[in-house]
Amino acid sequence: EIVLTQSPATLSLSPGERATLSCRASEDISDMLGWYQQRPGQAPRLLIYDGSNRASGIPDRFSGSGSGTDFTLTISSLEPEDFGIYFCHQRRNWPPEITFGQGTRLEIK
């Protein structure tokens, strides 16, 4: 099973600051990684697919980069609605395997 490790576990920042979140895969997954945002009390929503492509309707302050085993989600200037939990997810072995990272909590400083 491919294991995804996210860091940091918690990130405390202020609105307007830049956020950098990391996801590391236990083996090469090419660019087959997605990022999801989960606001408090809501379902996750897809932000980024295939490493760097923004999903429909996602603001351009969100960007993804990386390939192989190391990936980054960057939020260029934090808005109040950006605080929540972010998960990465790999589709390299789908089907049959789906795995998520454990999440990074982005909280207001």
Partner 1 sequence: QLQLQESGPGLVKPSETLSLTCSVSGGAMNSGTSYWAWIRQPPGKGLEWIGSIFYSGSTYYSPSLNSRVSMSIDTSKSHFSLTVTSVTAADTAVYYCARLGSGPYYGYFDHWGPGILVTVSS
Contact residues: partner 1, CB under 8 A: 1, 32, 34, 36, 42-46, 49-50, 53, 55, 87, 89, 91, 94-96, 98-103
For partner 1, which is the closer residue by CB, 12 or 16? 12
Report CA-CA distances (Å) from 32 to 22, 24, 42, 91: 15, 12, 25, 6
In the complex, the smallest distance separating the C-beta of residue 41 from partner 1, rounded to whole angstroms, is 9
* Residue of 6, 2, 10, 58 whose CA lies nearest to 29: 2
In the complex, the smallest distance separating the C-beta of residue 20 from partner 1, rounded to whole angstroms, is 20
For partner 1, which is the closer residue by CB, 14 or 56? 56
